[in-house]
Structure 1
Amino acid sequence: MSVNRDRKRGTWMVQVRYRDMFGVWHKTTKRGFKAKSEAKAWEASFRARMDGMLDMVFSQFYEVYAEDMRPRLKESTWATKEHMIRTKILPYFADMKMCDIRPADVVRWENWLLSLDLSPTYVRTIVNQLSAIMNHAVRFYRLPANPVLAAGKVGSKRPEQEMKFWTPEEYRLFSESVADKPDVYHAYDIMYFTGLRVGELLALTPASIDLDRSLILVRGTYQRIKGKDTITSPKTKHSVRDVLMPDFLRDELADYLATRPDLKADERIFAFTAHRLRHEMKRGAEAAGVKPIRIHDLRHSHAALLIDLGFSAQVIADRLGHSTVEVTSTYSHLFPSVQQSLAAALNEVGAAHER
């Protein structure tokens, strides 16, 4: 490896020879460094990476981690990770050498996170992300151990607040208060009566609506990423699904689409972001005099409605794009009638046994 002045460009460059995993030698040149120190730092990072050693600082290894992981993840998933790492992990560990980060350093960082008044679940998510980076270093770059595992994890795996949802009567009052704005009115109706995620709703196009079969075809999810409207594949493999609409919702949606004849088949029906839905939801709840809930709680409201109507966890899971285990875990406290029926059946068995 060598660091030299690029006289044509007036910058610094690094020329390196390295051997890949198959033992084949390669030569590459990295140009454009404004200072010799920058070129030397890149050279040291490259050498450490090729040697499988962790004598580089955390910020340098983050670039390695990003290069390894970004191609494997959805754009929206990586954007979320990147924001978390740059705002909550790099500010603390950026200049520390990977091989020098100790469990005590992680404990002090976790205490710093706890001082930021973040939700317990978000704190746990951030800690898990640091652990994922360290695991990557252990698995592929010879870091001896993951210091996060020795330090222990703070935060909570699940939200501590009580799940909120609207009953059919509460939703009726709310929907009447937003009826003056047809686009959000129909958006809320779809979410409450089908259980779609907000990203799935905002990705819908006329091509997603099969009025003849009363189906909504969930094939994508919308996110605003770095100022751009982005449609990506759904959250999980379970999320790709066809959701049957009740007749009244199908008819409402047909009437609404008829008022927008210029809408192309691949154009978003609801061409706004979740911010507008949150704003109108707060306004409508206040006007209707119902308790405030989050947009995602409309999905919980749909699940609660189906449970109250007596549908099984499997049916609800298929409709929501969840696994049955997720539905059972998330909504187990909303299945009292099932528990009562179960207890009654066991009582009958017990009574027969006593005879």
Structure 2
Amino acid sequence: MNILSFTPMPPISTERNDKFMPAYYNEESKKWYCKFYYKDWQGNRKQKKKSGFERKKDALEWERSFLDKLSGSPDMAFSDMVELYLEDKKKHVKLKTYLNHKDLFRLWILPYFKDKAINDITAIDIRQWEATLKESTGKKGTLLSSSYMNNILAKFSGLFNFAVRFYGLPSNPCKLAGNLVGKMQKSLNFWTKEEFDCFISTFDKSDPFYAAFLTLYYTGMRIGELQALTLADLDLENGIIHINKTYAIISG
């Protein structure tokens, strides 16, 4: 009987144990790299390699982070969950909305929770963070408004809802913590018809802005929706304007 010898493939594992996650040193580049196997979302076994790390520790941490995100482990680093959440948002919302989410996390949330495990964040942590948020100032050096803080809190809570729904997080700590940043003040500031008539009378009817302001006032469409209109959107025969896009300036 012939005995065949073979070298087994490295096991697929997301355990935080270095014996399953070797790192290698490249003598030519003088850098560390990691190389390991994993299963993609379709169950296919694939190999992953990432190089260019200054330290062995950095290579192992990158591999841990990759496998944590792949497995949806609820003990992954908060920063990794943010990355997954933003990737999902980018696929389902407008670019401007995605960038708004990204900026709010970068400015107000990640600095506080970046290295904490997602399932270690408690309601007390959230309340302490809310307390620091209430003392924070914006670009103009003034305290953040209640509406702005509520917007940040809503995005934060949305991330935990995402983790609960798709990655097995037991509960949303934002819901347990409650809202300490103040309720959003909603108010409507609008012109009466008399005020608008006074305003529009200062324009010559041949002025393009005359038609623009009339359209805004009587339809209620947003400025970005007006700016995005093309001739194809106007059905003059039936008196219909088709609103199907918006205009926004992204990063200049």
TM-score by length of 2: 0.76
Query: Number of aligned pairs?
Result: 226
Displacement of 1:7 after TM fit?
A: 5.4
Matched, 1:127 2:153: yes
Percentage of identical aligned residues: 36
Paired residue secondary structure (2:47): strand
> What's 2:5 paired with?
none
> What's 1:39 paired with?
59
* Structure 1 residues without counterparts, runs of 5 or longer: 228-355
Matched, 1:75 2:95: yes
Instruction: Select the residue among 169, 174, 191 that pairs with 1:148.
Output: 174
Q: What is the alpha-carbon distance in structure 1 between the residues aligned to residue 111 and residue 205 of structure 2?
A: 46
Displacement of 1:156 after TM fit?
A: 5.9
* Structure whose residues are more often helix by fraction: 1
> What's 1:4 paired with?
24
Matching residue's letter, 2:231: P
Paired residue secondary structure (2:75): coil
**CA distance 1:200–1:137, shift in 2 (3 Å):** same
Matching residue's letter, 1:83: D
Displacement of 1:37 after TM fit?
A: 3.9
* Structure 2 residues without counterparts, runs of 5 or longer: 1-20, 137-142
Paired residue secondary structure (2:147): helix
Displacement of 1:67 after TM fit?
A: 2.7
Pairwise mapping of residues 89-128 of structure 1 onto structure 2 (< 5 A)? 89-116=109-136, 117-128=143-154
Displacement of 1:155 after TM fit?
A: 4.7
Instruction: Select the residue among 186, 211, 228 that pairs with 1:186.
Output: 211
CA RMSD of aligned residues (A): 2.8
Q: What is the alpha-carbon distance in structure 1 between the residues aligned to residue 92 and residue 246 of structure 2?
A: 18
Matched, 1:138 2:158: no
Instruction: Select the residue among 182, 197, 200 that pairs with 1:175.
Output: 200
**Higher relative contact order, structure no. (Cα contacts within 8 Å, ≥ 6 residues apart):** 1
Matching residue's letter, 2:242: L
Contact 1:123–1:154 (CA<8 Å) still a contact in 2?
no
TM-score by length of 1: 0.56
Pairwise mapping of residues 1-355 of structure 1 onto structure 2 (< 5 A)? 1-6=21-26, 11-21=31-41, 23-33=43-53, 35-116=55-136, 117-155=143-181, 159-161=185-187, 163-177=188-202, 179=204, 182-227=207-252
Q: What is the alpha-carbon distance in structure 1 between the residues aligned to residue 238 and residue 94 of structure 2?
A: 31
Matching residue's letter, 1:74: K
